[in-house]
Amino acid sequence: MTRVLEHVPLAPRTTLGVGGPARWLVRCAREADVLAAAELAHARGVPLLVLAGGSNLVVADEGVDAVVVSLELRGATFTDEADTARLDAGAGEPWDGVVAAAAQRGAAGIECLSGIPGLAGATPVQNVGAYGQEVSQTIERVRAIDPSTGAVHELHAEACGFGYRDSRFKREPGRLVVTSVRFRLPRRAPEAPSYAELARALGGRAAAPTLLDVREAVKELRRQKSMLAGGADENSRSCGSFFTNPVVDLATLATVESRAADPSLPRHPQPDGRVKLPAAWLIERAGLPRGARDGAVGLSTRHTLALVAHEGATAREVVRFARRVRATVEDRFGVRLVPEPVFWGFGSLDDGLPVG
Ligand SMILES: Cc1cc2nc3c(=O)[nH]c(=O)nc-3n(C[C@H](O)[C@H](O)[C@H](O)COP(=O)(O)OP(=O)(O)OC[C@H]3O[C@@H](n4cnc5c(N)ncnc54)[C@H](O)[C@@H]3O)c2cc1C
């Protein structure tokens, strides 16, 4: 019998630590629990929302009139096949533990994703990435339930519609609940790091690092930026990066260049001819340095892209500050930043950010 909880505070279940309760919450350790939760949502006439580790989520102060599925489908199994390892991870398995196990077994391809908070089933949702790796590079297939029909789908990577911090799961929230993810990981040493910052952190080991070397170097870099899963310093109440790096066309790039009047503007050409710009650089050059703050909400003192909710902050204040950051960058450079986290219970959104 699936247990249904009522009026469950969501703030402690998110890394940002703000927001109100869920009207109903169902802890789901089996796919059948997800289906039971979907039936409950249907019977009550409210939406079904999926909660994993709560590290990419902003919940409104009023909470949500919804059935929230808390994903607790555990398990991570490795099967060696020729020169690769097949990894099957339950959606509720803590992601960093999965990465640690892969590195220990000599399975490559996700070691640069060490130290990212959240659960394995959420990684395909925004195609989690860091230091040159994205899960879309190693995901073989995703198992997901359609809560409206109860049908179970096995989606191969091509059917997931992956993009930069994007997928069909993100574009169509609520359509599919991911219950497990299969990765195909080559059993080999890591490639030489493509990120200069990571190469520097590896020091003398950069030419031929082991998977465990890369994992430790990435975790240390994350610790220095207060971007490590389970961190507990003054910047730890965040969703990680609050905005994605904008990918702009050449006309917009020309505008940014002329307004910035700074040849050091970093830019990363994309295969489609557009250019990715670092949101952190734009925010700082627009006049908001690390640690900039409005009351209980501000930018991390160690990472410009992380918005931190200090003691006493409300979700409304987080959104107000995010709107200020976006408006400041837009006024200065003509580029509109897009938020990375998902917003629950806010009503209408304006280019991804709640209105008001
Ligand atoms: C300190 C810090 C550092 C971070 N660094 C990075 C980084 O380097 N790279 C990066 O990409 N992200 C990063 N993030 C963001 C975040 O950790 C990832 O996006 C993570 O995958 C979210 O997982 P979660 O389990 O917390 O998901 P949640 O926050 O619980 O959910 C996020 C969204 O995904 C949906 N969802 C979650 N699980 C499922 C599922 N099984 N089926 C369907 N929908 C689902 C939810 O409904 C919600 O819309 C960071 C966050 C923090 C706090």
Q: What tens digit of pLDDT does each residue of 221-279 get?
A: 999 999 998 888 899 999 999 999 999 999 999 999 999 999 899 999 999 999 999 99
Among 35, 55, 169, which is best to mutate for testing ligand 1, by the most ligand atoms less than 8 A from CB? 55
* Predicted pLDDT of residue 21: 98
Residues of the chain with CATH 3.90.78.10: 247-354
* Predicted pLDDT of residue 131: 94
Residues of the chain with CATH 3.30.465.10: 76-191
Judge whether residue 191 has pLDDT over 90.
no
Q: How large is the C-alpha radius of gyration of the chain?
A: 20
Among 71, 125, 170, which is best to mutate for testing ligand 1, by the most ligand atoms less than 8 A from CB? 125
Which pTM value belongs to this model? 0.96
The verdict on domain 247-354 having CATH code 3.10.180.10 is: no
Are 3 and 69 contacting, i.e. CB atoms less than 8 angstroms apart? no
Question: Which of the 8 DSSP states describes residue 246?
Answer: P
Amino acid identity, position 238: S
Tokens of 219: 């975790």
Which three-class secondary structure state does DSSP give residue 142?
strand
Architecture of domain 4-71: 2-Layer Sandwich (3.30)
Residues of the chain with CATH 3.30.43.10: 4-71
Q: Which residues contact 39 (CB under 8 A, 6 or more apart)?
A: none
Judge whether residue 1 has pLDDT over 70.
no
Exposed/middle/buried for residue 251 (C-beta within 10 Å: 0-12, 13-18, 19+): exposed
Judge whether residue 184 has pLDDT over 80.
yes
The dotted CATH code for 76-191 is 3.30.465.10
Catalytic annotation on 167?
Answer: no
Pocket, ligand 1, Cβ cutoff 6 A: 15, 49-57, 71, 91, 116-119, 121-123, 125-126, 128-130, 169, 173, 177-178, 227, 238-240, 342
Catalytic annotation on 340?
Answer: yes
Tokens of 249: 């066309």
